[in-house]
Homo-oligomer: A and B are copies of this chain.
Amino acid sequence: MRDVGIIGIGQTKVGEHWDKSLQQLAMEAIAAALNDAGLERADALYVGNMLSGKVSGQEHIAALIADFSGLRGIEAVKVEAAESSGAAALRVGYMAVASGLVDTVVVCGVEKMTDAVSSATASAALALAVDSDYEALHGLSLAALNALLMRRYMHEYGVKREDFSSFTVNAHRNAAGNPYAMFPRPVSTEVFLKASMIADPVSLMDSAPLADGAAAIILCPGDKARGLTTDAVRIVASAVATDSLAIHDRRDPLLLEGAYLSAQRAYQQAGVGSVDIDLFEVHDAFTITAALSLEACGFAQRGQGVHLAQEGEIALDGRIPICTMGGLKARGNPVGATGVYQIVELVEQLRGQSGVNQVKGARLGMAQSIGGTGGTVITHILEAP
């Protein structure tokens, strides 16, 4: 099995790109990543995307994007795992290079949510990630399901709604230093408290905004990477785990077993524990998701994820910095692209290129991407050059 390095990164600004198509966004990110790697071509393209068929009226986008990016002819397929599609595409790219079958790989995550004709259409599209027969058909959207989880968490652990504000404040503070973020400005606890309710107790300020965006990374074998660049970032773990789609089928709704399994597998591959991780790009689609993920990955005891945030341990200078460039909440959440944005941001941190948001001495970074309410969870651990 070959070692795999990341030798190039690219991203578009996250936001509402009314003037650009899905394939244009992808092409921009891919061109930037190839340029960063000093390459003109690659051997394969794995695209992470969830909703092109439903929202953009186009499947078969991997071949389309390859052609649009000047890569006609190369191997290209799309990988889908709901909101963790981008991370799933990285997993496939990692296997391709590790196997020895493919040398240079582009992994691109892309989503064009503004192709949805209305926010109701966008919500319905996202609900394709939850169990259609037993959740979505009964009106349970992603926000509604997370509201049930948050309410249960508050009940079980005696936590108040406002206690979740630390996640939002942290994410927005970090986004202010990220030129690619959708909402690059701080918000206060007061703003959090006054936000409109979406599905009680989940407010607008608990929820990551839907957005358009594309991010790309270039992979190649470790030995080749060392010849091409001095700042290749090594992938030391790549792990996918699943759980039931429906929350009611789980043994304990507040334990994300997929996140637990995925993190354990990743720690085992890398030969490390949670204590060795210097920063963590968490899947903060909702504040409750961030809390549950931190707990499932061993960064906090159960019921303590919210306190970790309140105590400032998730800040850039805290014990385990999260959402270092704004996270899903403030960088924005272009669904199938998000898992690749997390990796791009980790690579910047591990290269020491994160400017005012730089986590000092970052050596091991972890990213976790979650599909649905935890049906798929994908964890990657990267090591600094």
Q: Which residue numbers of A lie inside 8 Å of B, CB to CB?
A: 1, 21, 44, 50-51, 53-54, 56-60, 62-64, 66-67, 72-82, 88, 91-92, 94-96, 98-102, 128-133, 136, 238-245, 249, 257-258, 261, 371-372, 375-376
Contact = CB atoms under 8 A, between A and B. Distances in A.
Nearest to A241: B73
A73 B243 contact: yes
Given A59-B128, A81-B62, A133 B21 contact: yes
A84 to B, nearest CB: 8
Contacts of A74: 241-242
Contacts of A245: 60, 63-64, 67
A242 B79 contact: no
A67 B242 contact: yes
A375 B100 CA distance: 25
A78 B79 contact: yes
Contacts of A94: 101
B99 A67 contact: no
A55 to B, nearest CB: 9
Contacts of A100: 1, 98-99
Contacts of A80: 59-60, 62, 77-80
Given A53-B51, A79-B78, A240-B76, A62 B376 contact: yes
Nearest to A261: B73
Contacts of A257: 73
B133 A76 contact: no
B128 A63 contact: no
7 contacts: A59-B80, A62-B242, A62-B376, A63-B371, A74-B241, A76-B376, A98-B100
A82 B1 CA distance: 30
Given A59-B129, A67-B245, A81 B78 contact: yes
A107 to B, nearest CB: 13
A94 to B, nearest CB: 8
Given A58-B128, A81-B77, A63 B242 contact: yes
Given A1-B101, A54-B54, A91-B77, A249 B59 contact: no
A77 B240 contact: yes
* Cβ-closest 5 pairs across A and B: A99-B99, A60-B82, A59-B128, A75-B240, A63-B242
Best-surrounded residue of A99, A133, A136, A244 (most CB of chain B within 10 A):
A99
A277 B244 CA distance: 43
A53 B81 CA distance: 12
A64 B246 CA distance: 9
A272 B251 CA distance: 52
A130 B64 CA distance: 9
Given A21-B133, A51-B53, A376 B242 contact: no
Contacts of A62: 80-81, 242, 376
Nearest to A2: B99
Nearest to A371: B60
Contacts of A240: 44, 75-77
Nearest to A136: B57
B51 A131 contact: no
Contacts of A91: 75, 77
Contacts of A136: 57
